[in-house]
Amino acid sequence: MIKTKINKLKLGKLTIKDPIIAAPLAGVSDKGYRRVLKENGVPLVFTEMVSAKALSYQNEKTKSLVEVEGEVPPIGMQLFGRDPKEIAEAGKYLESIGADIIDFNIGCPAPKIVKNFEGSALLKEPLLALKILEKLVSSVDVPVTLKIRKGFAKDMYDAEPIIMGLENIGIKGVFIHGRLREEYYSGTADWEYIRKIKEKVNIPVIGNGDINTPEKAKEFLELTKCDGMLIGRGFLGNPLLFKQITDYLNTNSYQKITVEEKIFWAMKQLEYTIVDKGEELGVKEMRKHFSWYLKGIRNGAKIRNDIFTANTADDIKKIIRRIN
């Protein structure tokens, strides 16, 4: 097998070696999760997507989602909205609290976002989308990127008119999810669409969608010739995926994550999350993460069910000791 090379990625003044990037995931990408990924080599992580409108109202819950004190840079932050002024002001705020890169979302398919004409709904309004991005770029000094889906629905509102206008307004890179909004996360991501866009633009293109194993990462790079990869669900329960991918690209082999490694990193993430959020909330929010870490483990379903009734770190430790 031939070695597959992944070059350094330049997003404005930010340079990323081995650009295998962790996507922002709602309800997932908190501080504990980000810290575990960073400790496993992921060069750029994102906080959860936040609303520009909520930031304009000084919403404390929203502000807590982008609290990054003590984290290892670079850290990306992602905004959504549709009011150019609100988004520009939100961008300034994110820059002031430590964002090394600001991404604008035209990819979220969630009904509650789309019904407010935000997220993927902006695929229907390319002129407004570009106006928002231009104002955001002019308001901050850090690099601004765009996350976008390939279109809204079949044969409707393709992303290309927006993507082709990005370079002229100073956008430093584009993250493309190879699905339509109407597909949500079903079916197969369209890597061929990403390849075609990569051939047409001069700014960096980072692909997203179904890159969840080292083999798929290699296949994706060889097909699309993209400048990087954005991985979301692939990291769930496997923070070692970054190392697996880089090993596979460089040597055509990699080590699978062991049960012991899964348990170690799950407990480490629990520890970090409790420090950040307190034991009661930390345990509650880690339940879903344990369900991902325990996938494929013997008696994993029973152990997951028991963890969903756990209320303390000691409860979880007792349950985990049953794994053999």
Whether residues 227 and 280 share a domain: the answer is no
Distance CA(123)–CA(155), nearest Å, equals: 12
Dump pLDDT digits (tens) for 247-261.
999 999 999 999 999
Using the 3D structure, point to which of 251, 271, 292 is the last residue of a domain: 251
Distance CA(138)–CA(118), nearest Å, equals: 21
Residue 235 CA, chain-centre distance (Å), reads: 9
Q: What is the pLDDT, as a whole number, of residue 298?
A: 83
Whether residues 106 and 132 share a domain: the answer is yes
Q: How many CB atoms lie within 10 A of CB 255?
A: 10
Q: What is the mean pLDDT of residues 81-102?
A: 98
Q: What is the pLDDT, as a whole number, of residue 15?
A: 97
Is 2 within a domain? Answer: no
Q: What is the pLDDT, as a whole number, of residue 301?
A: 84
Whether residues 301 and 192 share a domain: the answer is no
φ, ψ (nearest 5 deg) of residue 271: -60, -50
Dump pLDDT digits (tens) for 48-61.
999 999 999 999 99
**pTM for the structure as a whole:** 0.95
Q: What CATH number corresponds to the domain at position 271?
A: 1.10.1200
Residue 3 has pLDDT above 90, yes or no: no
Is 130 within a domain? Answer: yes
Is 3 within a domain? Answer: no
Whether residues 165 and 219 share a domain: the answer is yes
Query: Nearest Cα to 206, choosing from 4, 2, 6, 3?
Result: 6
Whether residues 163 and 140 share a domain: the answer is yes
More confident residue, 300 or 167: 167
Whether residues 227 and 267 share a domain: the answer is no
Whether residues 82 and 184 share a domain: the answer is yes
How many domains does one find in the chain?
2
Mean pLDDT estimate for the chain = 96
108 is known as an active-site residue: yes
Catalytic residue among 108, 129, 133, 270: 108
Q: What is the pLDDT, as a whole number, of residue 324?
A: 61
Residue 1 has pLDDT above 70, yes or no: no
Range of the domain at 235: 9-251
Query: Nearest Cα to 308, choosing from 282, 290, 321?
Result: 290
Q: What is the pLDDT, as a whole number, of residue 312?
A: 95
Dump pLDDT digits (tens) for 133-191.
999 999 999 999 999 999 999 989 999 999 999 999 999 999 999 999 999 999 999 99
Is 143 within a domain? Answer: yes
Dump pLDDT digits (tens) for 258-283.
999 999 999 999 999 999 999 999 99
Q: What is the pLDDT, as a whole number, of residue 2?
A: 66
Whether residues 100 and 162 share a domain: the answer is yes
